[in-house]
Structure 1
Amino acid sequence: MFKECAIGANGHQKLLYLCAILLFMACSHSSEAFDPLDPFGNITIKWDVMSWTPDGYVASVTMNNYQMYRHIMTPGWTLGWTWAKKEVIWSIVGAQATEQGDCSKFKGNVPHCCKKSPTVVDMLSGVPYNQQFANCCKGGVVASWGQDPLAAVSAFQISVGLAGTSNKTVKLPKDFVLLGPGPGYTCGPAKIVPSTVFFTPDHRRKTQVLMTWTVTCTYSQFLASKYPTCCVSFSSFYNQTITPCPSCACGCHNKNDCIMSDSKKLSTKGVNTPRKDNAPLLQCTHHMCPIRVHWHVKINYRDYWRAKIAITNFNYRLNYTQWTLVAQHPNLNNITQVFSFDYKPLVPYQSINDTGMFYGMKFYNDLLMEAGPVGNVQSEILLRKDKTTFTLKQGWAFPRKIYFNGDECKLPPPDSYPYLPNSAFGVLPPAPFIIAMVVTNEQAFFHEDGA
C-alpha cells in the first residue's frame, strides 16, 4: 500500500497527504499498547498439553505477568477464548468457568462447560486441596514482575474433550480475551512454540510436554479508559503556592454521583462495597480523580535534596492492593534513601537510569485504603545532587512522568509549577522559615478538598 502511495504521490499533493494519514494511522495502531517505560512488558499465557485422553487432552494453563509495574488487582483476571471446533471442558482444577452452557446432549457424565466461547476465572483462596493447582486460587490477583516475580504467575489445569488426540488433530483456540479486572488488554493469536521442558520431581531427569502454544497480551491505557485515572499536584519549600491537579483531570463524568467528604451518606451501610461493574464512588473534588499523587520538594541541603510523596485515594469503593507508583526524574539515578516505601530502579534503556518504581512494604503500607481518614500512604526520598544538572529553577525538581498502577497520571501544565523566587537564587531562607513553609504546604495538600 505504501509503495503504491509513494509512486502515485509524485505529482499529486492530495494523494501525498492521504498517504501520510494512512501511514500515521498504521503506526498509531501498532504502537497503541507500547509503553516506553516498560517496552517488553506483557502477559504471556502458555498452554502445555500434559497428556492425551480418549477424546482430547489435559493441559496446564499458565499466565505469566512480565509487566514491570502493572499488576492485576482484585477482583482479579477473567480469561476467555473461542474453541476452534466443538470442544468442551470436562473439568478444571484451580479455576472455574463462569457458565456451564447447554450440555443437554450429554448423558451421565456432564462437562464442566459446553460453551463455544467459555469464560474462566481464578478460584478464591481456601478451596479444598483436591481442587487446587500450583499457583492457583489467589482470587485472580497477579503481582507485577518488578514487584514480586514469584507472585507474578497464575495457573490452572484444564481437561478438554472433543478436541483431537494428537498434535495434528488438535486445533488451537482463538480470539483470546483477557480482562484484569477491567478492559485494556489486547491478545494476539495463539502460536505453537517448542514444547516446554521441565525436570521430574527428583530433579534428575528432563522431560517435555506433548505440545505447547502461547498467547501474548499487551495493555493499552487508551483502550482501558478515555480518561486518566490519576493526577499529580506539586508544592515546594521555596514557594507557598501549591500547584493543584488540573480541573477535571480525570474527566467530570462522575461529578453528579460524587459525595462530599462530610456527607452523611458515608455512614450508609454498604457504601464501601465494590460493584460488579467496578464503578467508582468518588469524593467530590475539582479534579475528580480516584487517585492523587502529591510531590513536595521539602528540603535543599548542600549535597542532597529531599522530596515527599503522598498518594491519596478518593474512591470510597476500592482498596488498592499491591499498588505501584512509577516516577521519571533525571536525579533518580542518584537516589540515596527511600524511607517508608520499597524502591526499585527501572532501566528500560541501559544508558538511561531516570525511572524508578515505588511500592508498599509488605504487611505495612502495601494496601491503600479507600477514601477517608486512612486513605493515603506517604514517604520521603533523599537524593544526592548531580552538580552538573541539579537546579531548583524552572520546575527541574518535579517529575517528568508519574504512573500509578501502570496508568499515566495527568500532570499540571509546566507554567503552573511553583516558581523559584528571585531571592532564592542567592542565600536560602533561614531554617525556621523553611520549616514553617513546609508545615503550611503539607497541611494544605493533605486537606480533604483534594486540591
Structure 2
Amino acid sequence: MDIRFSRLSVLFLVLLSWTSFTTTDAYDALDPNGNITIKWDIMSWTPDGYVAVVTIFNFQQYRHIQAPGWQLGWTWLKKEVIWSMVGAQATEQGDCSKFKGNIPHCCKKTPTVVDLLPGTPYNQQISNCCKGGVISSWAQDPSTAVSSFQISVGQSGTTNKTVRAPRNITLKSPGPGYTCGPAKNVMPSKFISGDKRRKTQALLTWNMTCTYSQFLARKTPTCCVSLSSFYNQTIVPCPTCSCGCQNSSQSGTCVDNPKISSVVPATSGKNNLEPLLQCTQHMCPIRVHWHVKTNYKEYWRVKVTITNFNYNMNYTQWNMVVQHPNFDNLTQLFSFNYKPLNPYAGINDTAMLWGIKFYNDFLSQAGPIGNVQSELLFRKNPSKFTFEKGWAFPRRIYFNGDNCVMPPPDSYPWLPNATPNLATSPLIILVITLFSFLILM
C-alpha cells in the first residue's frame, strides 16, 4: 500500500510539473537574435574622469519601447559622480552636499537616467536624443531604433587601465522585463566624419546586452484574440479571464460603460502604467479580432481589428506580428504597413503589421476611436488552402511584442458540414497512460 501510494505521489508530481511548466527564458522563436545593445563609448578624458556617449540600439525586430519611454540605471563601482549630461537627465540628484561651488548633476551611486522630451533646446541635445524615451523596433524603422546621450563622469579613472565600467545595468521600458548582462570591453567604436573622408574612434568602448522576457515583464498576458468567419455565425470570443478576471469583491478592477464618463476625464491623455480597463469577460487591454471575410475564386480576404480596452493608455507606434502559413502569398494590405519576418530561411509564414504614420500609427485609449482596422488579401495556394479545421485562422499573434491568448482550436468556427476534429490532446493521452499504469500496478 505504501509503495503504491509513493508511486502515485511521484506520478502526480510529474503530471503537475508537466502541466504547470512555464519558461522564463528570454529566447524568442520569432526573433531569435533580438536584443537591446547599450554601447558606452568614452570619447575623451577629463582631469578627474571622462566624457562618454551612451547609445541604446534596439535590435529587436518587433518589440519597441513606447511612452513614457526607457529608463536606464546602473551602479558605480567607485565614487563616481555625473558632472553633466546632454540629451538625457538623471531622475534624482542625490546627496551632493560635500561639493562646494560646482555641484554635480547627480551624486547617486545608483543613478537612473531618462531621455529628454521633444522640444528640448538645441544646446541640450545630441544626435538621436530627446524623443521622450520612445525607441522604434528595428523592422519598423532602423533610423529611430536608436537613442543616445552624452555623460560627463567625474571621480573615476582617467586612463583605460584605471577606469571602471558601471555594473548592475537595469533597463525598463518603462516597466520590467529586460535582463542585462555585464559590461564587456569590445573593440572601440569608429565614427565617420560628415564629409566621409576621415574616421575617428572611441578611446574605450563597453557593450551591455539586454534581452526581454514576457514572463519577467508581467505575470499575466496583455492581449487576446477573437475569431469569426463568413461561413459560420459563431463568433469565438477571447477565452474567459484571458488576462485576468473581474474581481467583484475589489473596487477599481475595471469600469462599466455607464461609469466611464465619471472616471476617464481625470486621467485622459496621460499614459499610466496601471491599466484602467473596460469591464469585459477577458479583461485584456488589447483584443485582436480576426474575421475571415470573403472567399473568391483565386483569393480570400481577412479583416483584422485591434481594439483598445485600456482607458489609461494610448499606444504609440504599435505593431502586431501574425503567424499564418499563407503569408507567403499575401497580395494586398489595406491601411497597414507590412514586412515579412523570416526568422528561419525559406519559411515565410510570419508578418509584422503596423500603422501608417500620421494616419493610424496611434491607437487611442478605449472609447469610440480606440481601434484600428485593416484588410488582408491572400492568393490561394491550391496545395495548401482550405477552410477546414481552422486553417484560415492565425497560429500566433503578438501585440507590441507580447504573445496574445488564442482561443482553443476546438472552438474555432467550422464549415457548416464539418465537425471539430476531436483529436486527443497530449495532456489527455498522458493522464490515460498514467491511470492505466496505476491500475496495472
Is TM more than 0.5 here?
Answer: yes
Cα drift, residue 274 of structure 1: 3.6
Match of 2:433 in 1: none
Shift in alpha-carbon separation, 1:77–1:383, aligned structure 2, 3 A: same
1:207 Cα shift?
1.5
Q: Give yes or no for the alignment of 1:398 onto 2:393.
A: yes
SS in 2 for 1:157: strand
Alpha-carbon contact 1:78-1:179 (below 8 Å) kept: yes
Inter-CA distance 210–280: structure 2 relative to 1 (3 Å threshold)? same
Q: Supply the AA of the counterpart residue of 2:66.
A: M
Alpha-carbon shift at residue 340 of structure 1 (Å)? 1.1
Cα deviation, 1:375-418, whole Å, max 9, x if unaligned, reads 00000000011111110000000000000000000000000000
State percent identity of aligned pairs: 67
8 Å CA contact 2:246, 2:281 repeated in 1? no
Tell me if the contact between 1:295 and 1:398 (Cα under 8 Å) persists in the aligned partners: yes
Q: Is the 8 A contact 2:246 2:279 kept in 1?
A: no
Distance in 1 separating the partners of 2:379 and 2:316 = 31
Q: Does 1:355 align with 2:321?
A: no
Three-state SS of the structure 2 residue aligned to 1:262 is helix
- Conserved in 2, the CA contact under 8 Å of 1:254 and 1:282? no
Residue 272 of structure 1: which of 246, 268, 271 is its match? 268
- Given the alignment, which residue of 322, 325, 334 partners 1:327? 322
State the distance in 2 between where 1:269 and 1:423 align.
Answer: 49
SS of 2:258 mapped into structure 1: coil
Q: Which of the residues 38, 49, 52 maps onto 2:31?
A: 38
**Relative to 1, partners in 2 of residues 1:268 and 1:375: Cα closer, same or farther, differing over 3 Å?**
closer
Query: What is the identity, as a one-letter code, of the residue corresponding to 1:387?
Result: P
Which of residues 193, 204, 216 is equivalent to 1:211?
Answer: 204
Aligned to 2:256: 260
Alignment correspondent of 2:145: 152
- Residue 70 of structure 2 is aligned to residue 70 of structure 1: no
Q: Unmatched 5+ residue regions in structure 1?
A: 1-12, 425-451
Map 1:374-389 to 2 at 5 A. 374-389=369-384
Counterparts of residues 193-342 of structure 1 (less than 5 Å)? 193-252=186-245, 256-257=251-252, 258-263=254-259, 265-266=261-262, 269-274=265-270, 278-342=273-337
TM-score for both structures, normalised by structure 2: 0.88
Which residue type is aligned with residue 366 of structure 1?
A: D
Rounded Cα–Cα distance in structure 1 between residues aligned with 2:246 and 2:177: 20
Runs of 4+ in 1 over 3 A off after TM superposition: 253-256, 264-269, 273-276
Shift in alpha-carbon separation, 1:39–1:318, aligned structure 2, 3 A: same
The question of whether the paired residues in 2 share the 8 Å contact of 1:236 and 1:297 is answered with yes
The equivalences for 1:152-191 within 5 A come to: 152-191=145-184
> In 2, Cα distance between the equivalents of 1:345 and 1:81?
36
CA 1:199–1:400 in structure 2 vs 1: closer, same or farther (change >3 Å)? Answer: same
Per-residue CA distance 1:322-357 (angstroms, 9 max, x = gap): 000100000011100001111100000012110000
- Is 1:52 the equivalent of 2:52? no
**Alignment: residue pair count:** 402
CA RMSD after TM alignment: 2.1
Unaligned runs of 5+ in 2: 1-6, 420-441
Give the CA deviation at 1:359. 0.3
Alpha-carbon shift at residue 423 of structure 1 (Å): 8.0
1:222 is paired with a residue whose SS is helix
Is the CA contact (8 Å cut-off) linking 2:388 and 2:415 kept in structure 1? Answer: yes
Tell me how far 1:266 sits from its aligned partner.
4.2
